[in-house]
Amino acid sequence: MALKQMTDAFVETTVLTDYLLKRDGSEKQAAAAIQRYERGIIPQFAWKEFKRGPLYYFVWAHNKLAETKSFLETLVALQRMSLSPRRYLTSTAIQAVHSAFVALFSPHNRKELQQAYGNKANPDAVHADLMRLELKRAIYSSWNSRRTLFGGPYHLLSCYPDAPLSEAQGRIEIEPRDCPKHIECCLKAALVSRRRDLGAVRAALKGETDRQEAARRGDIIRRIEKHPTSLMSAEDCRSFGNAYFVMFCPRNAVILTTNLRDIEPMASALGIGAQQP
């Protein structure tokens, strides 16, 4: 019953990514889920994570196409990377190629493509160039929307350098993606003042100690509780991650996420609703 009274959707990074970048039906589910509420709220923390992760992976795919000028060589690079620990980059870069393909090679675009490139164009180079341009469009369009989407960012982070994208020699430059190193996280003071809530969130993580990400999050929360004057660095803030959406969820809001496994136990500990699109 309580969830039905909530009027706002607190949009977590995974849903923001689906809404802006994916073209496999997830974007429609995300849009429909947000529209069920009176207001969608996107914190700047979600934009920061979006730029640091999913958007960076789309930029990687764009820059690899710009570098190789070959769709096939880019696929080979993805295959090689799939054998490395960089699984998140690999999976999202593949998603980037999929999204670009769906957008480009729909029936209404075929005639335009033939007129632009001709029948004798190298198919490999044509695919690479078209996909690069579509990725570039998606990258700039999604990042530029941060200032206006659903009313603009909520809960601005004073330590985060919100910078535009740039280009150099055909490559998209996405830095800075994070807060400066060796400075205090602007979230810490608010967290220190809520030690009881931090303790409840940490207790909810105890069943996840076999997972490195959750264990690291619990360690950071414990340090904030026990040593409130210690530095909370940019790296610590990244690891704090999903706990942000629980600790800073506005009143009358439900956390909208595709990552219920991580967020729901912490949210339940504080009596906050979490839903999947």
What pLDDT score was predicted for residue 2? 41
pTM recorded for the entire structure = 0.86
**106 confidence band (pLDDT: 50, 70, 90):** low
Task: State the pLDDT confidence band at 121, using cuts at 50, 70 and 90.
Answer: low
pLDDT band at 105 (very low <50, low <70, confident <90, very high): low
Task: State the pLDDT confidence band at 1, using cuts at 50, 70 and 90.
Answer: very low
At residue 127, does pLDDT exceed 90? no
Interval 242-254 mean pLDDT = 96
Tens digits of per-residue pLDDT, 53-68?
Answer: 999 999 999 999 999 9
What integer is the mean pLDDT of 87-111?
Answer: 70
Structure-model confidence comparison of residues 98 and 36, the more confident one = 36
Q: What is the pLDDT of residue 72?
A: 84
Give the model's pLDDT for residue 104: 66
pLDDT in tens, 162-192: 999 999 999 999 999 999 988 999 999 999 9
Q: What is residue 77's predicted lDDT score, i.e. its pLDDT?
A: 84
Alpha-carbon distance of 151 to 56, in angstroms, equals: 24
Q: Which of 270, 261, 262, 256 is nearest to 14 (CA)?
A: 256
Mean pLDDT over 227-239 rounds to 93
Percent of the chain with pLDDT over 70: 90
Residue 272: φ, ψ to 5°: -105, 140
DSSP 228: T
* 182-211 mean pLDDT: 89
Question: Which amino acid is it at 201?
Answer: V
CB distance 159 to 184 below 8 Å: yes
Written as six digits, the tokens of 122 are: 């190298």
4-13, 116-125, 264-273: range with highest mean pLDDT: 264-273
pLDDT at site 148: 96
Tokens of 35: 């529209």
Owner of token pair 């802006």? 20
Q: Minimal CA–CA distance to 75: which of 98, 103, 106, 102?
A: 98
Nearest residue to 255 (alpha-carbon basis) of 239, 242, 269:
242
Instruction: Give, as one character, the DSSP assignment of residue 7.
Output: -
- For residue 224, pLDDT beyond 70: yes
The packing angle between helices 87-104 and 71-82, to 10°, is 150
Provide the pLDDT for residue 210.
61
